[in-house]
Chains A and B, each alone.
Chain A
Amino acid sequence: MSEPLSLLLVDDEDGLRRVLSLSLADRGWRVRAAASGEEALALFRAEPAPVVVTDIKMPGMDGLALLRAVKELDPDCEVVLITGHGDIDLAIQGIKLDAADFVTKPIRDETLDIALSRARERRGMRRAIREHTEHLERLVESKTRELLAAERLAAVGQTVAGLSHSIKNMASGLEGSLFLLRQGLDGDRKAYLEQGFEMLETNVRRLKDLSLDMLRFAKPEDIRRVPADPAEPARQVTALLAARARDQGVELALELPGAPGTGWTLPLDVEALHRSLLNLVGNALDACRAAGYGPPPEGRSGGRVTLAVAPSPEGGVVYTVADNGSGMPESVRQKLFTPFYSTKGEGGSGLGLLTTRQVVAAHGGSIDVATQEHAGSVFTVIIPAQYENKLL
């Protein structure tokens, strides 16, 4: 109904045309009038009309010819035919040519109203179907992409190769820590004991992280959304990683541009989002380290990671994690969400971003990345206010 009421009226009888024009204008229509099929077509070409009301019987180009011509120019245009007494066969022909309706002379206002509202309904339906089809196409496209990702997971060779590298590194680390601890104890060598313990600690943590990531990945947790401050998980993550950023000589900033402040709530699973943001900010810090930012004297200064929280125009929330670290070449960006794909060698399970995406998807949201090699990356997570039950 948002469309302005606009129509093109075509009749060769001056009197009828004038009366109908006045009557339609009185009921809110913007009316352009033409005295012949040819004139109407010229007007239509100059500015298409959503609805055309035309007499069938006219000298020269008649109503049916005009109907055909108009439909050829704009299949979405709705045409209402005006028929004389006994012209029912012509009217039927018109309907076969996709006219919306026909009204019989003498024209009664109510009959014309019904015909015109039918015409507008048809337009609305047509548009809804088109939008729906486009949406379906998008949905199919995104599901196809997810299916391809699932197939990649099934590509056992690749999966096991990625995973086995992590596992072998951890096994080496555990083997090494046992050796160092045993040697340290036997020979009472403090340096071995300290190294062995540090190595054990690190590898136990890696083992734990990988196992939990795999569990979460194999069986995504239920997301429980309760009204919460969208800035809260961001504050927690910034506080949690502040020390690590400082040790790395990287500036970590939390930005809340345009956040409504106290009282801003959205239905969110704060804990799951906390984990996701922790993953993204952790990645950003890793990218800064990979770019050579670090504490003096060896490290470069100027490394910067920003976590921003802002309301989205649709009423949801946008989290942005930006860094000026190493960035990614296109080949890496394409594989970002591939299971067990990691650029971090010993340090990554290749599941972190994947579980992050699952959490975001379970909120009905989306995650996107813009990146440039040697310049940095920006991850954007959009969580809508309304929960849409997306097909998973």
Chain B
Amino acid sequence: MAIGGASGPTRGLGPGRVLVVDDEMHLRLFIKAVFESAGYETATARDGEEGLEKARAFKPDLVSLDLMMPNQGGVRFLTGLRADPELCATKVLVVSAIEGATFNHSLALLSAGPGPAPAPPDGYVEKPPTAQRLLSEAQRILAQGAA
């Protein structure tokens, strides 16, 4: 990724590009502002469908994803992202109201479901998120990718 050519994500001088996918407006604004303030380039999407469109155009390094959107929006987004050869390497940070243990359980269920299971997200922050948690988790995930 670090040696991305013309087709790779266009890197500015900042730490990276973050796409925020959340159905709740306030959360979107909040998370966007957190990454913006830390120097990231940001884009937002209101649901999984719009998220995939934006991801194709914006080519983010990291997606901040609300997994529990209506109509399984989060899960569909994750599946769609992992199935797209251009996007499958994008890191995913899940921001969700469900607790860690429940979240892991739901991931297990997801992989037990029909069809190919999407690769699990790279990180997880429980709601309500704090700016500090979001940024440290994002840094950790992106550092992994660069390693």
Contacts and interface: CB of A to CB of B under 8 A. Distances in A.
Contacts of B30: 172-173, 175-177, 179-180, 199
Contact of B26 (A165, A168, A203): A203
Contact of A169 (B29, B37, B97): B97
Contact of A199 (B29, B37, B127, B128): B29
A388 interface: no
B121 to A, nearest CB: 19
Contacts of B24: 169, 172, 345-346
B128 A195 contact: no
Interface string B103-138: 000000000000000000000000111110000000
Contacts of A345: 23-24, 70
Contacts of B83: none
Interface residues of B, number: 17
A110 to B, nearest CB: 81
A312 interface: no
B79 to A, nearest CB: 22
Interface residues of A, number: 22
Nearest to B34: A179
Nearest to A191: B33
A141 B31 CA distance: 50
Interface in A184-215: 187, 192, 195, 199, 202-203
A173 B26 contact: yes
A172 B129 contact: yes
B33 A180 contact: yes
B142 interface: no
Nearest to B68: A165
Residue with the highest number of chain B CB atoms closer than 10 Å, among A169, A179, A180, A203: A179
B75 interface: no
B27 interface: yes
30 contacts: A165-B97, A168-B127, A168-B128, A169-B27, A171-B127, A171-B128, A172-B26, A172-B27, A172-B30, A172-B128, A172-B129, A173-B27, A175-B128, A175-B129, A176-B26, A176-B30, A176-B31, A177-B26, A177-B30, A179-B33, A179-B34, A179-B131, A180-B33, A187-B37, A195-B29, A199-B30, A345-B23, A345-B24, A345-B70, A346-B26
